Amino acid sequence: MMKIVGILLLSLLFACEIKTDNLIRLKGLNLDYSAPNGSGELSLYIGPSLLEDSLKFELVKNEKTLDVSLPGIQYKMEIPGFLKKAQEIEISDFNLEVSRQKALVTLEKYYALKEDESQVLEDATVSCEAQSVSESGQKMMEDILHACIERGLIKFYSFKEKKFEMVNLEAQISNGTLNITGQVFSSINGKMKLEGAIEYLKEEKKIRLRADKVKFGILSVKKRFFQEMKELESENFKVQEPYLYYSI
């Protein structure tokens, strides 16, 4: 679930120079990245109007910064956590809609290769409601993260990493309370239900998930769940029971 956050942040880079009260839409974003270079394209809308069709962009990861180049726009930013050790990334048909009251993300496929281990996310949707979303790029990202943690719905068909697979996930978030259901295939198999909480630690730039209950049916598997999550640890994903941390 947290992998979607990294993709959302990448997409917001392309909206950060735009200041408007109208809806921002990125449609059909595709990216091919092979460290340290990446390229892709997208279509950009402001309100109902098409601003740019098939807008091409390039990424270059340097030692400390990520260079982003679009026609007429070049800037540097801190390297997002999900890009730091990525050898390859492919994003297919990513779509984003942002207004002052909501954010909606859909994604056909995300593939990443890191340290010779692959991650695959398919058919994902993130829908979040907000009281207000800023027009400023950095503040916009923070507002959307806060909105998703306060009131959001996350769904995806399949996520695979190492020997862990989860399908038909649905995560409902209300005022920081988190409920997740989905089918898990790993060293333990079954329909999982997780109850807990989620929050954004602004100063640390981390999302923290607390798992209070993890069950397969009536059977508690919380201890086994954290053992499984521990095996998925990476530079930007850490496990400290009862918490899971994702660095942005």
Confidence tier at 47 by pLDDT (50, 70, 90): low
- pLDDT of 13: 47
- The answer to whether the CB of 206 falls within 8 A of the CB of 198 is no
- The answer to whether the CB of 119 falls within 8 A of the CB of 85 is no
Domain boundaries, the chain: 3-247
- pLDDT of 138: 58
Residue (of 236, 219, 197) closest to 85 by Cα position: 236
Axis-axis angle for helices 3-12, 137-150 (nearest 10): 150
The rounded mean pLDDT for the chain is 82
Give the span between the Cα atoms of 169 and 45, in whole angstroms.
30
Question: What residue has token string 């038909």?
Answer: 168
- The answer to whether the CB of 10 falls within 8 A of the CB of 29 is no
Tell me: pLDDT of 1 over 70: no
Among 19-23, 80-84, 93-97, 134-138, name the most confident range: 93-97
- pLDDT of 152: 86
Q: Taking the complete model, does pTM exceed 0.85, yes or no? A: no
The H-assigned helical ranges of the chain are 3-12, 137-150, 222-230
Higher pLDDT, 204 or 7: 204
pLDDT digits (tens, 9 = 90+) for 187-232: 878 899 999 999 888 888 888 999 999 999 888 999 999 998 998 8
